[in-house]
């Protein structure tokens, strides 16, 4: 059981489409904490959509940008929704883990396929020719490796998922 008054950050990790941003915003309101969406943070700092940054800079450069932004965060007691690709950076994940509790929001692939009909303009870091199944199989072990807790979001609405998260505090 974690202390709700702790100054630890609550960091939401998981695949695109799992609901990190929406759940993060609601969770922050309920817990009266600040909220940071790292994808929005990157877009705002660059003045471009994530997909435009990926297209113009390339995947490797984007991942470095993401890593640099993550390790530049200086916050306590904040709910942070990360981009799904943050797990490719050990440096970023170690940094997030050092100041926070990492919660993996999990959905099986078939649920994600239903939610993500066209994710090519969403700003998803994936190799050319890679499909969602391959991306999922590549990232899932990384999310599990870094997570302090996994919450199964299957068949659950945002309020139920948040209730599960809060039950840990």
Which residues is 152 bridged to in the sheet? 106
Instruction: Give yes or no for residue 4 having a pLDDT over 70.
Output: no
Q: What's the average model confidence in pLDDT over 62-77?
A: 94
Q: At 81, is the pLDDT very low, low, confident or very high (cuts 50, 70, 90)?
A: very high
What is the reported pTM?
Answer: 0.92
CA dist 93 and 97 (Å) reads: 6
Indicate if the pLDDT at residue 150 is higher than 90. Answer: yes
* Confidence band for 17, pLDDT divided at 50, 70 and 90: confident
Looking at residue 112, its pLDDT comes to 85
- Kindly give the interhelix angle for 38-46 and 50-57, rounded to the nearest 10 degrees: 60
Query: Which of the two residues, 8 and 2, has the higher pLDDT score?
Result: 8
Mean pLDDT of the chain: 90
Is the distance from CB of 24 to CB of 35 less than 8 angstroms? yes
34, 28 contact by CB (below 8 A): yes
Are 83 and 126 contacting, i.e. CB atoms less than 8 angstroms apart?
Answer: no
Instruction: Indicate the domain borders of the chain.
Output: 9-159
Percent of the chain residues past pLDDT 90, beyond the cut: 73
Helix (H, G, I), strand (E, B) or coil at 73: coil
- CA-wise closest residue to 16 among 102, 95, 86, 91: 86
Segment 25-51 shows an average pLDDT of 94
Q: Which contacts qualify for 68-75: CB closer than 8 Å, 24 or more apart?
A: 69/38, 69/41, 69/42, 69/45, 70/38, 70/95, 70/96, 71/95, 73/36, 73/38, 75/9, 75/34, 75/36, 75/99
pLDDT per residue over 94-142, tens digit each? Answer: 999 999 999 999 999 988 888 776 656 555 766 777 788 999 999 999 9
Q: Write out the two tokens for 75.
A: 């916050």
Q: What is the CATH number of domain 9-159?
A: 3.40.50.300
- Residues near 19 by beta carbon (within 8 Å), at least 6 away in sequence: 105, 153, 158, 161
């Amino acid at each position: 059981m974690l202390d709700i008054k702790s100054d630890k950050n609550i960091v939401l990790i998981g695949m695109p489409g799992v609901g990190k941003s929406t759940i993060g915003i609601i969770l922050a309101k309920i817990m009266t904490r600040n909220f940071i969406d790292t994808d929005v943070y990157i877009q705002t700092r660059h003045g471009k959509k994530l997909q435009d940054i990926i297209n113009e800079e390339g995947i490797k450069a984007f991942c470095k940008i993401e890593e640099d932004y993550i390790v530049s965060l200086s916050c306590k007691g904040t709910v942070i929704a990360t981009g799904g690709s943050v797990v490719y950076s050990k440096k970023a994940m170690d940094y997030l883990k050092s100041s926070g509790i990492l919660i993996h929001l999990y959905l099986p692939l078939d649920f994600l396929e239903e939610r993500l009909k066209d994710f090519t303009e969403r700003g998803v870091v994936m190799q050319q020719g890679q499909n969602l199944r391959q991306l999922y199989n590549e990232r899932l072990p990384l999310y599990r490796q870094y997570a302090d807790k996994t919450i199964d979001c299957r068949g659950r609405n945002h309020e139920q998922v948040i209730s599960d998260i809060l039950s840990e505090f």
